[in-house]
Chain A
Amino acid sequence: MAPVKHRCRSASVNASELAQMGVCERLVVFEHHCGKLRTAEQQIAIERGRGAHRRFYWERNGGSDRGKCGSAGHFGHQVRRIWTNWYCLLLRVTRWLHAAENRNGL
Protein backbone atom coordinates (compact mmCIF):
# COMPACT_ATOMS: atom_id res chain seq x y z
CA MET A 1 0.00 0.00 0.00
CA ALA A 2 1.59 3.23 -1.17
CA PRO A 3 0.48 6.84 -1.28
CA VAL A 4 -1.02 7.60 -4.64
CA LYS A 5 -1.08 11.35 -4.83
CA HIS A 6 -1.27 14.34 -2.54
CA ARG A 7 -3.43 17.13 -3.82
CA CYS A 8 -3.10 20.59 -2.37
CA ARG A 9 -6.01 22.24 -4.09
CA SER A 10 -9.06 22.93 -2.03
CA ALA A 11 -10.76 25.45 -4.32
CA SER A 12 -11.74 22.74 -6.79
CA VAL A 13 -13.13 19.35 -5.94
CA ASN A 14 -14.19 16.44 -8.09
CA ALA A 15 -17.34 14.42 -7.56
CA SER A 16 -15.53 11.33 -6.26
CA GLU A 17 -13.60 13.32 -3.67
CA LEU A 18 -16.76 15.02 -2.50
CA ALA A 19 -18.50 11.64 -2.31
CA GLN A 20 -15.92 10.58 0.28
CA MET A 21 -17.67 12.98 2.65
CA GLY A 22 -20.48 10.45 2.70
CA VAL A 23 -18.08 7.68 3.72
CA CYS A 24 -16.05 9.28 6.52
CA GLU A 25 -14.95 12.87 7.17
CA ARG A 26 -11.81 11.70 8.96
CA LEU A 27 -10.86 9.75 5.84
CA VAL A 28 -11.25 12.93 3.77
CA VAL A 29 -8.87 14.83 6.05
CA PHE A 30 -6.34 11.97 6.20
CA GLU A 31 -6.31 11.66 2.42
CA HIS A 32 -5.79 15.39 2.07
CA HIS A 33 -2.79 15.42 4.40
CA CYS A 34 -1.22 12.03 3.70
CA GLY A 35 -2.29 11.22 0.14
CA LYS A 36 -4.48 8.35 -0.89
CA LEU A 37 -3.59 5.01 0.62
CA ARG A 38 -5.11 1.91 -0.88
CA THR A 39 -5.09 -1.58 0.50
CA ALA A 40 -4.35 -4.34 -2.02
CA GLU A 41 -8.00 -5.32 -1.90
CA GLN A 42 -9.11 -1.77 -2.71
CA GLN A 43 -6.60 -1.51 -5.56
CA ILE A 44 -7.97 -4.71 -7.10
CA ALA A 45 -11.52 -3.39 -6.74
CA ILE A 46 -10.52 -0.12 -8.44
CA GLU A 47 -8.97 -1.94 -11.39
CA ARG A 48 -12.04 -4.14 -11.66
CA GLY A 49 -14.26 -1.06 -11.64
CA ARG A 50 -12.21 0.55 -14.42
CA GLY A 51 -12.62 -2.56 -16.54
CA ALA A 52 -16.37 -2.55 -15.93
CA HIS A 53 -16.56 1.12 -16.94
CA ARG A 54 -14.62 0.47 -20.15
CA ARG A 55 -17.16 -2.23 -21.01
CA PHE A 56 -20.06 0.02 -19.99
CA TYR A 57 -18.70 2.71 -22.33
CA TRP A 58 -18.26 0.17 -25.13
CA GLU A 59 -21.85 -1.01 -24.70
CA ARG A 60 -23.37 2.49 -24.77
CA ASN A 61 -24.66 1.95 -28.31
CA GLY A 62 -24.92 -1.80 -28.10
CA GLY A 63 -21.21 -2.39 -28.66
CA SER A 64 -20.92 -0.40 -31.89
CA ASP A 65 -18.27 2.23 -31.43
CA ARG A 66 -19.09 5.09 -33.74
CA GLY A 67 -15.76 6.82 -33.23
CA LYS A 68 -13.74 3.89 -34.45
CA CYS A 69 -13.94 2.07 -37.72
CA GLY A 70 -16.82 -0.30 -37.23
CA SER A 71 -15.72 -3.22 -39.37
CA ALA A 72 -12.41 -4.74 -38.29
CA GLY A 73 -12.52 -4.03 -34.55
CA HIS A 74 -16.19 -4.87 -34.29
CA PHE A 75 -15.84 -8.08 -36.30
CA GLY A 76 -12.93 -9.23 -34.13
CA HIS A 77 -14.92 -8.46 -31.02
CA GLN A 78 -17.91 -10.45 -32.32
CA VAL A 79 -15.73 -13.45 -33.25
CA ARG A 80 -14.08 -13.47 -29.82
CA ARG A 81 -17.46 -13.20 -28.12
CA ILE A 82 -19.02 -16.01 -30.15
CA TRP A 83 -15.99 -18.25 -29.62
CA THR A 84 -16.02 -17.59 -25.86
CA ASN A 85 -19.74 -18.30 -25.60
CA TRP A 86 -19.52 -21.57 -27.52
CA TYR A 87 -16.46 -22.65 -25.57
CA CYS A 88 -18.31 -21.99 -22.28
CA LEU A 89 -21.32 -23.89 -23.61
CA LEU A 90 -19.17 -26.91 -24.53
CA LEU A 91 -17.49 -26.88 -21.13
CA ARG A 92 -20.81 -26.73 -19.31
CA VAL A 93 -22.36 -29.49 -21.39
CA THR A 94 -19.31 -31.71 -20.93
CA ARG A 95 -19.29 -31.17 -17.15
CA TRP A 96 -23.01 -31.73 -16.95
CA LEU A 97 -22.84 -34.98 -18.93
CA HIS A 98 -19.97 -36.23 -16.76
CA ALA A 99 -22.00 -35.43 -13.66
CA ALA A 100 -25.03 -37.20 -15.13
CA GLU A 101 -22.96 -40.28 -15.96
CA ASN A 102 -21.56 -40.38 -12.43
CA ARG A 103 -25.05 -40.05 -10.97
CA ASN A 104 -26.29 -42.97 -13.04
CA GLY A 105 -23.20 -45.03 -12.27
CA LEU A 106 -22.33 -45.51 -15.92
Chain B
Amino acid sequence: MGFETAALARIVGFVAALWRKMWSSPLAKATESLPQELGGARLIYAERLFRSQSPVVITARVDRVYRNAKGKLVLVELKTREANRTYWSDVIELSAQRFALSGQTGEAMADYAYILTERPDGCPTGSHRVRLMAPADLIALAMRRQKLLAGKHEPERADFRGVCRKCAFVQLCNLP
Protein backbone atom coordinates (compact mmCIF):
# COMPACT_ATOMS: atom_id res chain seq x y z
CA MET B 1 0.00 0.00 0.00
CA GLY B 2 2.86 2.31 0.91
CA PHE B 3 4.62 1.61 -2.36
CA GLU B 4 1.47 2.31 -4.38
CA THR B 5 0.86 5.59 -2.55
CA ALA B 6 4.44 6.71 -3.12
CA ALA B 7 4.19 5.76 -6.78
CA LEU B 8 0.95 7.64 -7.19
CA ALA B 9 2.38 10.70 -5.44
CA ARG B 10 5.42 10.74 -7.73
CA ILE B 11 3.24 10.42 -10.84
CA VAL B 12 0.93 13.21 -9.67
CA GLY B 13 3.94 15.42 -8.89
CA PHE B 14 5.44 14.78 -12.30
CA VAL B 15 2.16 15.52 -14.08
CA ALA B 16 1.73 18.74 -12.06
CA ALA B 17 5.26 19.88 -12.95
CA LEU B 18 4.64 19.07 -16.61
CA TRP B 19 1.32 20.90 -16.54
CA ARG B 20 2.91 24.00 -14.99
CA LYS B 21 5.66 23.96 -17.60
CA MET B 22 3.22 23.61 -20.50
CA TRP B 23 0.69 26.19 -19.45
CA SER B 24 2.81 28.94 -17.93
CA SER B 25 2.40 32.31 -19.66
CA PRO B 26 4.35 32.82 -22.91
CA LEU B 27 6.22 35.80 -21.51
CA ALA B 28 7.20 33.85 -18.42
CA LYS B 29 8.53 31.08 -20.64
CA ALA B 30 10.56 33.53 -22.74
CA THR B 31 12.18 35.09 -19.70
CA GLU B 32 12.59 32.09 -17.41
CA SER B 33 16.15 31.42 -18.59
CA LEU B 34 17.13 35.09 -18.35
CA PRO B 35 19.02 36.60 -15.42
CA GLN B 36 16.96 38.36 -12.78
CA GLU B 37 17.95 41.83 -14.03
CA LEU B 38 16.31 41.20 -17.39
CA GLY B 39 13.23 39.46 -16.03
CA GLY B 40 10.89 42.32 -16.89
CA ALA B 41 13.09 43.98 -19.48
CA ARG B 42 11.84 44.82 -22.93
CA LEU B 43 13.22 42.90 -25.91
CA ILE B 44 14.53 45.41 -28.46
CA TYR B 45 16.31 43.31 -31.10
CA ALA B 46 16.47 39.61 -31.93
CA GLU B 47 18.71 38.00 -34.57
CA ARG B 48 19.61 41.33 -36.13
CA LEU B 49 22.74 42.23 -38.12
CA PHE B 50 24.65 45.42 -37.27
CA ARG B 51 27.67 47.07 -38.82
CA SER B 52 30.02 49.72 -37.51
CA GLN B 53 31.79 51.93 -40.03
CA SER B 54 34.81 53.41 -38.34
CA PRO B 55 37.56 53.22 -37.29
CA VAL B 56 37.26 49.49 -38.05
CA VAL B 57 34.41 47.88 -39.93
CA ILE B 58 32.87 45.22 -37.71
CA THR B 59 29.70 43.30 -38.55
CA ALA B 60 27.84 41.33 -35.94
CA ARG B 61 24.61 39.40 -35.62
CA VAL B 62 23.14 39.71 -32.15
CA ASP B 63 21.00 37.00 -30.56
CA ARG B 64 18.91 39.24 -28.31
CA VAL B 65 19.14 42.77 -26.99
CA TYR B 66 17.12 43.99 -24.01
CA ARG B 67 16.72 47.46 -22.54
CA ASN B 68 17.46 47.42 -18.81
CA ALA B 69 15.91 49.59 -16.09
CA LYS B 70 18.56 52.29 -16.63
CA GLY B 71 17.63 52.56 -20.31
CA LYS B 72 20.80 50.91 -21.59
CA LEU B 73 20.88 48.07 -24.08
CA VAL B 74 22.13 44.73 -22.78
CA LEU B 75 23.31 41.95 -25.08
CA VAL B 76 22.26 38.35 -24.47
CA GLU B 77 24.01 35.51 -26.29
CA LEU B 78 23.15 31.82 -26.34
CA LYS B 79 25.99 29.29 -26.27
CA THR B 80 25.55 25.54 -26.65
CA ARG B 81 28.33 23.65 -24.86
CA GLU B 82 28.97 20.89 -22.37
CA ALA B 83 30.83 23.12 -19.92
CA ASN B 84 28.85 25.65 -17.92
CA ARG B 85 31.39 28.41 -18.39
CA THR B 86 32.42 31.30 -20.61
CA TYR B 87 35.58 31.85 -22.62
CA TRP B 88 37.65 34.86 -23.59
CA SER B 89 36.42 34.44 -27.18
CA ASP B 90 32.84 34.96 -25.91
CA VAL B 91 33.87 38.28 -24.39
CA ILE B 92 35.52 39.36 -27.66
CA GLU B 93 32.47 38.36 -29.69
CA LEU B 94 30.05 40.23 -27.44
CA SER B 95 32.34 43.26 -27.32
CA ALA B 96 32.36 43.28 -31.12
CA GLN B 97 28.58 43.03 -31.12
CA ARG B 98 28.32 45.99 -28.79
CA PHE B 99 30.76 47.97 -30.94
CA ALA B 100 28.78 47.25 -34.12
CA LEU B 101 25.39 47.94 -32.53
CA SER B 102 26.39 51.21 -30.88
CA GLY B 103 28.26 52.25 -34.03
CA GLN B 104 25.18 51.78 -36.20
CA THR B 105 22.43 52.95 -33.86
CA GLY B 106 24.26 55.31 -31.49
CA GLU B 107 22.30 53.82 -28.58
CA ALA B 108 23.75 53.70 -25.06
CA MET B 109 24.99 50.21 -24.29
CA ALA B 110 25.76 48.53 -20.98
CA ASP B 111 29.42 47.61 -20.44
CA TYR B 112 28.44 44.05 -19.61
CA ALA B 113 26.47 41.30 -21.31
CA TYR B 114 24.91 37.96 -20.46
CA ILE B 115 25.78 34.57 -21.86
CA LEU B 116 23.16 31.86 -21.51
CA THR B 117 24.68 28.41 -21.63
CA GLU B 118 22.86 25.23 -22.44
CA ARG B 119 23.98 21.65 -22.93
CA PRO B 120 23.88 20.07 -26.40
CA ASP B 121 20.69 18.26 -25.38
CA GLY B 122 18.99 21.67 -24.90
CA CYS B 123 19.03 21.70 -21.11
CA PRO B 124 19.85 25.22 -19.84
CA THR B 125 22.80 25.28 -17.46
CA GLY B 126 23.06 28.92 -16.43
CA SER B 127 23.51 32.58 -17.23
CA HIS B 128 26.84 34.37 -16.92
CA ARG B 129 27.42 38.08 -16.67
CA VAL B 130 30.63 39.14 -18.43
CA ARG B 131 32.34 42.52 -18.50
CA LEU B 132 32.99 43.65 -22.08
CA MET B 133 36.18 45.04 -23.54
CA ALA B 134 36.69 48.76 -23.87
CA PRO B 135 36.24 49.97 -27.47
CA ALA B 136 39.92 51.00 -27.66
CA ASP B 137 41.02 47.46 -26.73
CA LEU B 138 38.67 45.96 -29.30
CA ILE B 139 39.99 48.26 -32.02
CA ALA B 140 43.55 47.34 -31.03
CA LEU B 141 42.63 43.65 -31.32
CA ALA B 142 41.10 44.17 -34.76
CA MET B 143 44.23 46.07 -35.85
CA ARG B 144 46.45 43.25 -34.57
CA ARG B 145 44.37 40.76 -36.53
CA GLN B 146 44.89 42.79 -39.70
CA LYS B 147 48.63 42.88 -39.09
CA LEU B 148 48.72 39.13 -38.47
CA LEU B 149 46.91 38.49 -41.73
CA ALA B 150 49.29 40.81 -43.55
CA GLY B 151 52.25 38.89 -42.10
CA LYS B 152 53.55 41.87 -40.14
CA HIS B 153 53.33 40.06 -36.79
CA GLU B 154 54.08 36.52 -35.70
CA PRO B 155 50.90 34.80 -34.49
CA GLU B 156 50.96 33.38 -30.99
CA ARG B 157 49.89 29.86 -30.19
CA ALA B 158 46.85 28.95 -28.10
CA ASP B 159 47.31 29.24 -24.35
CA PHE B 160 45.27 26.14 -23.77
CA ARG B 161 46.49 22.98 -25.52
CA GLY B 162 42.99 21.49 -25.42
CA VAL B 163 42.25 23.82 -28.31
CA CYS B 164 44.95 22.10 -30.41
CA ARG B 165 43.43 18.66 -29.86
CA LYS B 166 40.22 19.74 -31.60
CA CYS B 167 41.87 21.92 -34.23
CA ALA B 168 41.70 20.85 -37.88
CA PHE B 169 45.05 22.58 -38.56
CA VAL B 170 47.00 20.74 -35.89
CA GLN B 171 49.19 18.91 -38.43
CA LEU B 172 49.91 22.04 -40.46
CA CYS B 173 50.67 23.92 -37.28
CA ASN B 174 53.32 21.36 -36.34
CA LEU B 175 53.77 22.47 -32.78
CA PRO B 176 56.30 20.62 -30.57
Contact = CB atoms under 8 A, between A and B. Distances in A.
Interface residues of B, number: 63
Interface in A38-64: 38-39, 41-42, 45, 48-49, 52-53, 55-57, 59-64
B5 interface: no
A73 to B, nearest CB: 14
B131 interface: no
Contact of A1 (B25, B164, B168): B168
B73 interface: no
Given A15-B58, A60-B30, A85-B18, A45 B89 contact: no
A100 B3 contact: yes
Contacts of B11: 93
Given A23-B158, A85-B22, A100-B7, A14 B169 contact: no
A75 to B, nearest CB: 14
A11 interface: yes
A91 B88 CA distance: 42
B102 interface: no
A23 B19 CA distance: 43
6 tightest A-B CB contacts, nearest first: A62-B26, A22-B89, A15-B96, A25-B155, A37-B168, A24-B158
